[in-house]
A and B are shown apart, each in its own frame.
Chain A
Amino acid sequence: MTFTFTHSELTLLLPEITLLTMACLILVIDAFLSDEQRDLTFQLTQGTLIGTALLVWFNVPSEPIFAMSGFFIHDAMAAMLKFFTLLVVFWAFLYSRQYLKDRQFFKGEYFVLGLFATLGMMIMISAHNLLTIYLGLELLSLSLYTMVAMHRSSQTASEAAMKYFVLGALASGLLLYGISIIYGVTGSLDLSQLAVAIKNSPVEHHTLLTFGLVFLVIGLAFKLGAVPFHVWVPDVYQGAPTTVTLFISSAPKLAAFAILMRILVEGMSSLQTDWQNMLILLSILSMGTGNLLAIAQTNLKRMLAYSTIAHVGYLLLGVLTVTETGYAASMFYVVVYALMSLGGFGMIILLSRAGFEAENITDFKGLNQRNSWYAFIMMILMLSMAGVPPMLGFWAKLSVLSQVIQTGHVWLAVIAVIFAIIGAFYYLRIIWMMYFEKAEETQPIQAEPLMQIAISANGLVILGLGIAPHILMSLCLTTFGLSSY
């Protein structure tokens, strides 16, 4: 019997192993805690996330290293995305604490499942084999379905969980079917081997490979929430408890971006022209549908869901340029999006209290009178989402669009800009309501200090990085081995 992995390979997996061990440990510790002591679970979870993030941060490789017989890849993109994933999850949990406590479902399992979901995302980000990609995805999805359903007394949450579960299973099935076709043709699941096999495949295999590719892209589009596979997004975002919506809408998008890159760019680079066209279609549809339907929404969670769909469209723009700088721009976009989404849903949590969800747009009326600081933060977030300079969101859209223009898809850039302008309307409407309408509610906003600090920091980070976007941008560029534009 020979083992095909060594100790040095295990050190590469140290963040994952730490996270898994701690998740199991927290699960056991939590079982012995009383409800009053439950804060310990929360603290341990946050500690684990920080510890894992540090482990990732101090081990950024200069070139890709493979481990576990090629199932695992450790490269700069993996390190960066993992770091941001952990950070975003950490932030999301900061927002969750008070909300969960107020609604009597501050449970250990919530955080443990969150950790397992994070583990799933890390596995996806570091996957270099269709098998690990699928397994990571399932780990993530299964945890998320449960987190949505965990608020059992809420009927909308149960409905959302059911929809999410059924459509998620369908998406997994499609992805799996695509994988099986590709495997049938090439005889390999490893992405490097796959790339070689596709390159050397005879012409008559092309139709079949395209079939497989279509299913893979559909599966990925489902998970990303791109139109026309977006139907689950608004319902799930609206129905799930806001903390879970926050979780679903932020970190998993980073992982979804990672597997998009792994499968399409690393595994299927020879089928470039095919998937490029598919992504263009998905991108235009997403930007259009997302922005147009968002206008009609009165529910903020639903509006943000459509805004997510639109953002996914922009995110795809960078990938479909098929250039390194384009990938960097997309990565920049997805990180920025995750930060904005955190802030957006964070504000809903902030304004909500036990028995009341501030999920309608009208709930934001006159926020300036009630608390001008939070109104200011919300304004930063909305301006950033709309892509108004000098907010971070502007630079994200700009970098993606400049890449699209540079690769000669000017018409696509024009469409994107038009939809962005249309989209700006509904973000600005919220700002209008906050500053120029009378407050219907006069209750002061109460939140624990932790929450206040977190949401303020979130807004200021977006503002600060917007003023100095090169910090984050250069990080993304170096990830793809580029120094500057």
Chain B
Amino acid sequence: MFDIVYQYLPYPLAYSLIILIKIVLLVVPLMVAVAYYTLAERKIIGFMQIRIGPNRVNLSIIPGLNLLRGFGQPIADAFKLMFKEIIIPTNANRYLFVIAPTLSIAPALAAWAVIPFSETLWVANINAGLLYILAMTSLGVYGILIAGWASNSKYAFLSTMRFAAQIVSYEIAMGFSLVGVLMAAGSLNLSEIVAAQQGSVFHWFWIPLFPLLMIYFISGVAETNRSPFDVAEGESEIVAGFHVEYSGMLFAAFFLAEYANMILVAALTTLLFLGGWLSPFQGMGVLEQWTAWIPAPFWMFAKMSIFMLLFLWFRATFPRYRYDQIMRLGWKVFIPITLVWIVVVGLFILAQLPPWFDSTPITTALASR
């Protein structure tokens, strides 16, 4: 597909160009998804609270779309934010204040580089994919840390403190649940992790690693600073949290980063526990034949949307945690459970428990000894 580029350009240039094209092909749909995810949030939560949600801005420029009332809302929002003035508070640290949103959104986008959408659809397929994602998501905290500090505002600063402690705590549980996955799959490469779940819906890791799935996703919610773990935003006591002083596009960057991270957590949960792009009907005879025409990425997006919905559902349902409860949940509940479950997974592997652990790389290595 890209051969033509290599023919006409010197290698390094062509290589860079192709990477650039791939990135654009990934980021543009992602940004659109983020935009419409915000709309979905407002609509769905509206539905859950028996109201209508945004219904004014429609896409009347496109003929025949008058009926989709409210569907122009994200675009209108984007325009509004773009043309707003960026106010930098007095005594704020100018450079850091401006850099912070960039530091927030850059890792959120960079992490997407290793996410595979099908066997062949990815930007980069690196061996340490899982670690790379963990590293990138852990970088996201800097944007918020710096934003809170550079704003020179006590509310922003309090929020930063809350957020930093929370994210560091939950990263441990998250990391441990990933250890369980990599033990089960015998690889850190995301494509190989999906390949290790080959088979029907019952072959995916969500059954043997169920506690880890729960912990991973809940930690993901905490990491992205979403309700019910959104004490860092805590509008009831600290106004709006770390971005209280931000306006315009700088604010929008934080917003984009948060939603990109949410979709990322959904994608990862899908890849690690729900077989990624694999069809749930694999090896199910007639069902498999009937659904054979569906392209692989569809399954990926379908599974992702379940978790994306869960994010919104949580927000509409749960009251916010108190801070000590958040800490207790992370340190005293999640970490012990993951530690125990890692041992259990080890036992599963030793027992070569079918259908998940009878032919993983680790079990074959053990058998060949």
Contact = CB atoms under 8 A, between A and B. Distances in A.
A1 B365 CA distance: 7
Contacts of B365: 1
Interface in A1-19: 1-2
Contacts of B369: 1-2
Nearest to A1: B365
Interface string B337-369: 000000000000000000000000000010001
Nearest to B366: A1
Contacts of A2: 369
A160 B365 CA distance: 52
A1 B362 CA distance: 10
Q: Kindly state the interface size class of chain A when it binds its partner.
A: under 10
Contacts, number: 3
Interface string B67-96: 000000000000000000000000000000
B105 to A, nearest CB: 39
A326 to B, nearest CB: 49
Interface of A: 1-2
Nearest to A3: B369
A173 B365 CA distance: 40
A1 B364 CA distance: 11
A1 to B, nearest CB: 6
Interface string B236-269: 0000000000000000000000000000000000
Nearest to B362: A1
A1 B369 CA distance: 7
3 contacts: A1-B365, A1-B369, A2-B369
Q: 3 smallest A-B Cβ distances: which pairs? A: A1-B365, A1-B369, A2-B369
A200 B365 CA distance: 41
A226 B286 CA distance: 83
Contacts of A1: 365, 369
A1 B366 CA distance: 8
A24 to B, nearest CB: 14
Nearest to A2: B369
Nearest to B368: A1
A7 to B, nearest CB: 15
A220 B284 CA distance: 69
Interface in B132-172: none
A2 B365 CA distance: 10
A90 to B, nearest CB: 34
A1 B363 CA distance: 12
A369 B365 CA distance: 76
B69 to A, nearest CB: 61
A5 to B, nearest CB: 14
A2 B369 CA distance: 8
A248 to B, nearest CB: 33
A2 B368 CA distance: 10
Nearest to B365: A1
